[in-house]
A and B are shown apart, each in its own frame.
Chain A
Amino acid sequence: MSERHVVIVGGGQAGGRVALSLREAGFQGRITLVAEEAHPPYERPALSKGLLTGEAEPDTTLLAPAAHLAQMGVALITATRATELDAVARRLLLEDGRRLDFDDLVLATGARPRRLVPEGAAGPLPVLRRMDEALALRERLRPGTTLAVVGGGVIGLELVSSALARGVRPVLIEAADRLMARQVGPAASAFIEARHRAAGTELHLGRTLRRIDPRSLDSGPGVFVLTLDDGTAIAADAVVAAIGVVPDMALAEAAGLACEDGILVDAEGRTSQPGIWAAGDVARAVVPWSDRPERQESWRNAEMQARRVAASILGSDPAGDDLVPGFWSDQLGQRLQSEGVCAGTEIVRLSGDGRFAAFHLRDGRLVGCTTLDNPKLATLARRAIGRGLEIDPAALADPGGDPLRLLR
């Protein structure tokens, strides 16, 4: 009998973690990881933060050094796209004509940035998702220049923060009337907005980019002139679109796997096809905190879902499993942490030292929490959310109370 062969498509957090977890759990069969990018599996969070400011370098973002992967017996195929999946014959075709026969297949293909092609542009605006895009942008962030960012979510705001740290003047355009509208509650949005305005970011909320033109002689400095829907003109030296992502599920869809805004999977990461699994940004999974399958675009989800898939492949229990959704974002020298979901009632609390926290309560239970520079509170909130802690909203909001004690 031939060795069991696990093939992983995707060289991000989820793909890399499946490979490492399988080996750490003692899997003896073959593992092949196919990555579209030229790099071994790496963690993306630094791409909009340390890698742009120069505090991180490509090799510090790797999940494991390439030599370590080789030592662990993970065959790495980089800079190669998987082009066709035959779910019945259990075969994957690569763009260079190679054919991989598998016993188990893990789809960790991630997501692609939404493209934005404004009037006047020759093609889609630059985006930030991949290592090479981050390195190219780093070269363009020269002190004294202006960067225009379209999109006021996590990536857009981290881009703006990194630009400020490099002496670049940021301008941000967001279609919604508040920042991070998908990720935090209105009070947290307002707090974040005030901080960004104070730091010197020019914010245009509730506005969209209508067109982009090369600089004309009378438009002042900058390489481009951006025109917003209200006629405002902005000169900028570089432009990035950070307006969200769409799951990269073409391979799965063409193979007939059940997909709907993501590859549909159960709580363990099983797709509609036995022996084919999905994890990370591309997977839309059954989760305990929602009555419909959810797709999560976070480091934690990629990490935890990958561990669950590895454990499911081996028929064991995942180690260090954590089902509470969460993410962090470094902005303007502060660390924002979100735990749970920002649904229900938002209760704001400012501690004596001015640190912000917002709690989300539904049916008397803590379901979410957003903190700034308060990692202890975030950690306790994650655990309290996980066990469905019932909590008195008045006690939480009480400025004299101790939220750390309430959540223990």
Chain B
Amino acid sequence: MTWTRLCSISDISEDDGLRIDRDGRGPLAAWRVGDAVFVTDDTCTHGQASLTEGGILDGFQIECGLHLGAFDVRDGKVTSAPCTIPLRVYPVRIEADEVFAALNDT
């Protein structure tokens, strides 16, 4: 696995997400729930909407602001229609305060 540094934990507001734009791929989202961090794609699988920009994180569920579909940020599973395609999630490793994700293997 190749681990890519994305951000520091402290960059992410608690119970919220941080959008991370990286060259050559769609935007990512780093979610912080308490002390846990999860990394997913940032674009909703249903409509063209940024989850970090328009969504609201309730516990582990991110609800998209555009169509009100929702996912679990832990495994990307759809928790509410109209979404049908799961959200891609990436393995995360935390070292000290730094968030790393494996972006190529899932």
Residues of A within 8 A of B (CB): 17, 20-21, 24, 63-64, 299-300, 303, 307, 319-320, 322, 328, 337, 375-376, 378-380, 382-383
Closest-CB distance, B58 to chain A (whole angstroms): 10
Most chain A beta-carbon contacts within 10 A, residue among B63, B65, B80: B65
By the criterion of a CB under 8 Å from any partner CB, how many residues of chain B are at the interface?
16
Question: Dominant SS at the A interface?
Answer: helix
Do the beta carbons of B67 and A378 come within 8 Å of each other? no
Complexed CA–CA distance, A328 and B80 (Å): 19
Do the beta carbons of A21 and B81 come within 8 Å of each other? yes
Contacts of A319 in B (CB 8 A): 80-81
Residues of B within 8 A of A (CB): 49-50, 53-56, 63, 65-68, 70, 80-82, 84
Given A319-B80, A320-B80, residue A375 in contact with residue B67 (CB < 8 A)? no
Q: List the B residue with the shortest CB-CB distance to A55.
A: B48
Q: List the A residue with the shortest CB-CB distance to B52.
A: A376
Closest-CB distance, B15 to chain A (whole angstroms): 12
Do the beta carbons of B84 and A64 come within 8 Å of each other? yes
Contacts of B68 in A (CB 8 A): 300, 303, 320, 322
Do the beta carbons of A307 and B81 come within 8 Å of each other? yes
Q: List the B residue with the shortest CB-CB distance to A64.
A: B84
Do the beta carbons of B81 and A375 come within 8 Å of each other? no
Given A17-B82, A320-B81, residue A299 in contact with residue B56 (CB < 8 A)? no
Do the beta carbons of A17 and B81 come within 8 Å of each other? yes
Q: List the B residue with the shortest CB-CB distance to A24.
A: B81
Partner of A383, one of B53, B56, B70, B81: B56
Q: List the B residue with the shortest CB-CB distance to A307.
A: B81
Complexed CA–CA distance, A290 and B70 (Å): 28
Contacts of A24 in B (CB 8 A): 81
Could you give 27 example pairs across A and B, Cβ below 8 Å?
A17-B82, A20-B81, A21-B81, A24-B81, A64-B84, A300-B68, A303-B68, A303-B81, A303-B82, A307-B81, A319-B80, A319-B81, A328-B66, A337-B66, A375-B49, A375-B50, A375-B53, A375-B65, A375-B66, A376-B53, A376-B54, A376-B65, A378-B54, A378-B65, A379-B54, A379-B55, A383-B56
Contacts of B49 in A (CB 8 A): 375
Complexed CA–CA distance, A328 and B65 (Å): 10
Closest-CB distance, A11 to chain B (whole angstroms): 16
